[in-house]
Structure 1
């Protein structure tokens, strides 16, 4: 399974945008922007049907059913909100198919290739709605969030959630049993290195592969092709890729990429503290390997916060990522987006305002452990997480705020790079040779670097002359 599909099937926005689903590229879907909007808010004056596309998932669907839908019916009784639920791996293809068929889609969200959406003119410019409501979005949401999907001084989404970067989730019962202190919550703690994390993982690994065995670590940071080199002080991508969303080359064939992938391979086959792909697949058949106590420390995106809501059998906690040469990490900021081709935009705006309200996001965060984006809703989230994990509010706030410090936080490239899923699927197809120990990292990185360069160049050539002007 590719890193893209892994993230999106478990926690994110769907399957790869590649090949045929980009057939509409370069043409505007549905035609035109919105007429001058009526003032929105949640006044209850909207009417008609609003199609709201969501992905299947226990935590998210439960929150939608128990928090959002009752509130929508109470506060916007004249609007019929049709919640369309599709499997997560079909989510982005569903957006594309509805756009291609001009089937009205008022609202979608949950991550995705935001700049690809914009390039293909799928999202509605929401600036006029925000202005009409006199809504100070920068004061309302956490600092900087609304700027993540602001292009040419226009807003193309309303902040839905932030993962607060990436994080380490640990099984406190297993650490206590091994006589280990919880890892640091301070991202500036120089003692928490990859070598120290490996020392922890070694002590936490017991009878690996046996039915009752435990692995010390799962280094599953999404997406490995980007996140791992960050930790070794490098970057697989050029600066141009972050600013122009395309680039004619990569930095994949570089020393930090080699060091990072050597470390990954060694965790599995030299140190034997992380399951190989076959073992990981077997463990997954019994349930989430961390939640079933088979993994002591999991390193991944901030969705670990809300998936931890299912843990009832042991104590757990959150910590800063260990440092290789850096602890730079990916942050995932998601948005509610209105389809440019939608037929009921004014009512959709009222629904978006309610979904983003302090009342709704607070209740949703308390139930699902999903980090809210309004400033006034954040305390409810941290208090709920503190109650479940047993960690102090002070410690949790250090983990959360440290991860998104600008000096170490990077918006996920899958939100920025055009056809990121094609880059990801190319990498993932080659990753099997490394993680199955069929090829050493020293040989694998130069070979795959050439393939990644070819893939990036093909995407660059496809889009270099078609950048939108608005």
Structure 2
């Protein structure tokens, strides 16, 4: 499984993870028991066995909800759905929890067989957009247009997935952006200024590189600014930038580039993109502040690498706050450096309603429930998630509930991370570039030589262009929630 797919998989289990807050269950559950009926018992039955209306006057409905997860997540998902049904006794939810590696195949099989599907977690590039293009997914504007409790306009714009400017096929399940994480102790020992949290004071690329040099140390204790520094005996890297599009894509946008240009050309072969890619490669082979691919494979994840002082800084996703805090790392986070302008990609899993559902209203109620931090704040307070609902990102009383006085949310978090999401984020390319999965596979293969220092970014992307051109299907238009453009 690719690093991209693993990260997306992490995002897509958000709804199941949310349920962990509702239960202390620690037992064993068979993941083969996919169909589980956790219907509430509030619906009344008359003497003829017919299901009657619920106390609130709603006619009972049943919806099938699919998500993926492991055995523990299966049980906790059932628990949160039980609580949901206690609140909405007219809705019976039939959950199907599918192991991660089998998910797309199972959904595809169910669709082909005409089995009931109402609400599903979906990964945008690999399955959601192919299904939408087959006409299988509902335009959420149709079900949410009159909602005053949580209208589509209350969701972060970059958390909405558009099929075209008038059609929204999915909403996010917890927002994520990218930023710099660092070990505070290493910065203090070196007497180096920490990354800014104010987006208006973001480092330039040169300041970023200079700081990384001060924090890259060889076995003799010399940093990368020392003329006698030995790049072959590095014991502490100043920086690590993982080599997947979720990370390096931020700097493509920051330099004014794109994956696919507005006129449908291969954007990664343009100077704005190749310059950004080359700068990242130069961190390895010119500045010697970041590990080569072979050395990077030997590093643990960002949380352990920072905790054990293998690296001083890392560019990674917002979700790393949870792991760093759990490891009791003395860490901080700051905004990304900028090239031409400050940008970050916003990524999130998505929830979609199938067009064939007989109960889209019930599905929408469940979407809102799973995206409402008021139901439980645990996974927001522990550093894992950011809300997708704007009020929870902008209203001080709500912000304080999941950010204030917490080690999982270091100083400057609201300004530097929430602020980046609201003011400097761009939608994930999986939702804006048609045929993204196939295109990025070609790009990643070409970039291997760049990260190894065997080819320039410009030459590699020029060679990739010939293979990518037949795959390009233009960009997706994004409208607004009211359909006014």
* Counterpart pick for 1:125 among 115, 139, 146: 139
Are the structure 2 counterparts of residues 383 and 353 from structure 1 closer, same or farther at C-alpha, using a change threshold of 3 Å?
closer
Does residue 357 (structure 1) correspond to residue 357 (structure 2)? The answer is no
Q: Which has the higher contact order (CA 8 A, sep 6+)?
A: 1
SS at 2:299 equivalent: helix
Deviating more after overlay: 202-211 vs 346-355:
202-211
Structure 2 residue runs without a partner (length 5+):
15-54, 220-230, 477-482
Once the two structures are TM-superposed, the CA of residue 335 in structure 1 deviates from its matched residue by 3.3
* Aligned residue in 2 for 1:71: 83
Asked if the contact 2:175–2:387 (Cα under 8 Å) also holds between the matched residues in 1, the reply is: yes
* Aligned residue in 2 for 1:443: 459
Are the structure 2 counterparts of residues 374 and 228 from structure 1 closer, same or farther at C-alpha, using a change threshold of 3 Å?
closer
Are the structure 2 counterparts of residues 389 and 306 from structure 1 closer, same or farther at C-alpha, using a change threshold of 3 Å?
closer
SS at 2:332 equivalent: strand
**Separation (CA, whole Å) in 1 of partners of 2:233 and 2:74:** 32
Once the two structures are TM-superposed, the CA of residue 401 in structure 1 deviates from its matched residue by 4.3
**Separation (CA, whole Å) in 1 of partners of 2:333 and 2:70:** 23
**Separation (CA, whole Å) in 1 of partners of 2:307 and 2:64:** 34
1:363-406 CA-partner distances (Å, limit 9, x unpaired):
542355311123443465665445124633xx222213442355
**Separation (CA, whole Å) in 1 of partners of 2:389 and 2:119:** 19
Asked if the contact 1:5–1:89 (Cα under 8 Å) also holds between the matched residues in 2, the reply is: no
Asked if the contact 1:268–1:274 (Cα under 8 Å) also holds between the matched residues in 2, the reply is: yes
Asked if the contact 1:9–1:89 (Cα under 8 Å) also holds between the matched residues in 2, the reply is: no
Once the two structures are TM-superposed, the CA of residue 184 in structure 1 deviates from its matched residue by 0.6
**Separation (CA, whole Å) in 2 of partners of 1:45 and 1:323:** 53
* Counterpart pick for 1:171 among 183, 196, 200: 183
1:237-271 CA-partner distances (Å, limit 9, x unpaired):
2114xxxxxx3x31332222222222222212222
Once the two structures are TM-superposed, the CA of residue 196 in structure 1 deviates from its matched residue by 1.3
Once the two structures are TM-superposed, the CA of residue 420 in structure 1 deviates from its matched residue by 0.6
Q: How many residues align?
A: 419
**Matched ranges for 1:52-63 at <5 A:** 52-56=65-69, 61=73
* Aligned residue in 2 for 1:223: 246
Are the structure 2 counterparts of residues 138 and 361 from structure 1 closer, same or farther at C-alpha, using a change threshold of 3 Å?
farther
* Structure index of larger Rg: 2
* Aligned residue in 2 for 1:404: 421
**Separation (CA, whole Å) in 1 of partners of 2:199 and 2:252:** 18
SS at 2:235 equivalent: coil
Are the structure 2 counterparts of residues 334 and 397 from structure 1 closer, same or farther at C-alpha, using a change threshold of 3 Å?
same
* Counterpart pick for 1:199 among 196, 207, 210: 210
Does residue 4 (structure 1) correspond to residue 4 (structure 2)? The answer is yes
RMSD over equivalenced CA pairs, Å: 4.0
Once the two structures are TM-superposed, the CA of residue 61 in structure 1 deviates from its matched residue by 4.0
**Separation (CA, whole Å) in 2 of partners of 1:396 and 1:204:** 23
Once the two structures are TM-superposed, the CA of residue 275 in structure 1 deviates from its matched residue by 1.9
Asked if the contact 1:106–1:338 (Cα under 8 Å) also holds between the matched residues in 2, the reply is: yes
Does residue 185 (structure 1) correspond to residue 204 (structure 2)? The answer is no
Does residue 269 (structure 1) correspond to residue 285 (structure 2)? The answer is yes
**Separation (CA, whole Å) in 2 of partners of 1:448 and 1:73:** 51
**Separation (CA, whole Å) in 2 of partners of 1:133 and 1:425:** 40
Once the two structures are TM-superposed, the CA of residue 169 in structure 1 deviates from its matched residue by 1.8
SS at 2:180 equivalent: strand
**Separation (CA, whole Å) in 2 of partners of 1:110 and 1:367:** 25
**Separation (CA, whole Å) in 1 of partners of 2:107 and 2:70:** 17
**Separation (CA, whole Å) in 1 of partners of 2:355 and 2:346:** 26
Are the structure 2 counterparts of residues 304 and 363 from structure 1 closer, same or farther at C-alpha, using a change threshold of 3 Å?
closer
Q: TM-score, normalised on structure 2?
A: 0.72
Asked if the contact 1:214–1:294 (Cα under 8 Å) also holds between the matched residues in 2, the reply is: yes
Q: TM-score, normalised on structure 1?
A: 0.74
* Aligned residue in 2 for 1:466: none
**Separation (CA, whole Å) in 2 of partners of 1:44 and 1:156:** 30
**Separation (CA, whole Å) in 1 of partners of 2:101 and 2:306:** 22
